[in-house]
């Protein structure tokens, strides 16, 4: 087994294995290439194609993602980086075996599974983690290819960018997504989507929402979608006011939410309701299926 010292002494490049070819793994490889080290990098990926969540975790109607993919492509084209796809570490090769051939190993495997919230009723039919739905509409081969979209009212728990993507995909018509790279099986499922109302729940206030200002502002640019925020949910304590002063991004998010709360109701066929100060306490079921969600008002 060669050691790093042996490699450097023999003027051979340091061999580095990076496990995971999402943005983290690719940018880590880029930093190593740009460093003063002489390196040769093998980028391992269990999927056939690279880019991780950029490919399989972002809604298809984000045109700016193509620019990010191009920048990742540019990194991977460097001579010091070799892509090895369809190889799962732990199944096709072990970490111990990799130590025999590499001077260092970087793990950049990300998080592809949902974490349970611990709510009563979470196991009911009709209760899903966001990763399952995102994997479906992004065409991830590790997730099911068909989805039951017969519910007319859907609850989404969380006020981050993933909840924005999920809500928007549920509220848009399938035909609006035809201009994207949406897989045909996803299009066929979304054609049968019955959702008319999407209710998004956040346990804290507008200043604590983890939205990107641009994505939030564009949420109801579709003529079929209207975003509704209750005026009483626009509330700030001293810490929230301080957060707005200290962060332009937080302030822009709050301004957009305020604009949604102040306008008159429209007639768009699909509504996205964003509820603040509502903490889910139970997913309510009947005959083993979800029929509602119970929340408590927070302060």
89-143 tens-digit pLDDT: 999 999 999 999 999 999 999 877 788 899 999 999 999 999 899 989 888 887 8
126-140 tens-digit pLDDT: 999 998 999 898 888
The reported pTM is 0.81
pLDDT over 50 (residue 5): no
Whether residues 145 and 275 share a domain: the answer is yes
CATH number for the domain that contains residue 12: 3.40.50.720
- Going by C-beta distance under 8 Å and a sequence separation of 6 or more, which residues neighbour residue 252? 213, 217
> What does the DSSP 8-state code read for residue 12?
P
Q: Is residue 215 within 8 Å of 64, Cβ to Cβ?
A: no
Question: Which residues constitute the domain of residue 23?
Answer: 4-107
Indicate if the alpha-carbon torsion angle 272, 277, 278, 280 is positive or negative. positive
Q: Average pLDDT in the 39-60 region? A: 85
The two beta strands, 289-297 and 278-286, are antiparallel
Neighbours of 58 (CB within 10 A): 19
Q: Where are the alpha helices (DSSP H) in the chain?
A: 4-9, 23-34, 52-56, 65-76, 95-99, 130-137, 161-171, 184-191, 213-217, 238-246, 248-262
Is the residue at 122 inside a domain? no
Q: Is residue 257 within 8 Å of 209, Cβ to Cβ?
A: yes
pLDDT over 80 (residue 284): yes
Number of domains in the chain: 2
Q: Is residue 16 within 8 Å of 42, Cβ to Cβ?
A: yes
CATH number for the domain that contains residue 225: 3.50.50.60
236-258 tens-digit pLDDT: 999 999 999 999 999 999 999 99
Whether residues 161 and 279 share a domain: the answer is yes
């Amino acid at each position: 087994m060669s050691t790093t010292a042996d490699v450097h002494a023999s003027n051979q490049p340091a061999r580095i294995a990076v496990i995971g070819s999402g943005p983290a793994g690719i940018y880590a490889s880029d930093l190593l290439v740009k460093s003063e080290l002489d390196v040769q990098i093998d980028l391992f990926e269990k999927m056939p194609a690279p880019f991780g969540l950029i490919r399989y975790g972002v809604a298809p109607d984000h045109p700016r993602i193509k620019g990010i993919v191009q920048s990742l492509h540019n990194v991977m084209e460097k001579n010091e980086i070799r892509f090895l796809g369809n190889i799962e570490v732990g199944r096709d090769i072990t970490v111990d075996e990799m130590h025999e051939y590499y001077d260092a190993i970087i793990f950049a495997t990300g998080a592809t599974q949902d974490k349970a919230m611990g709510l009563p009723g979470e196991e009911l039919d009709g209760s899903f983690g966001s990763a399952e739905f995102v994997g479906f509409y992004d065409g991830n081969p590790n997730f099911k290819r068909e989805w039951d979209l017969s519910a007319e009212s859907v609850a989404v728990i969380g006020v981050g960018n993933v909840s924005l993507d999920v809500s928007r995909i549920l509220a848009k018509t399938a035909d609006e997504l035809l201009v994207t790279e949406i897989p045909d099986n996803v299009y066929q499922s979304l054609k049968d989507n019955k959702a008319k109302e999407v209710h998004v729940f956040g346990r804290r206030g507008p200043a604590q929402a983890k939205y990107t200002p641009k994505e939030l502002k564009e949420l109801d640019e579709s003529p079929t979608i209207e975003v509704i925020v209750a005026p009483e949910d626009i509330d700030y304590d001293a810490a929230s006011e301080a957060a707005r002063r200290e962060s332009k991004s937080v302030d822009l998010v709050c301004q957009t939410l305020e604009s949604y709360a102040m306008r008159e109701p429209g007639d768009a066929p699909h509504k996205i309701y964003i509820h603040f100060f509502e903490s889910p306490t139970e997913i309510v079921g009947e005959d083993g299926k979800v029929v509602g969600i119970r929340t408590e008002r927070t302060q």
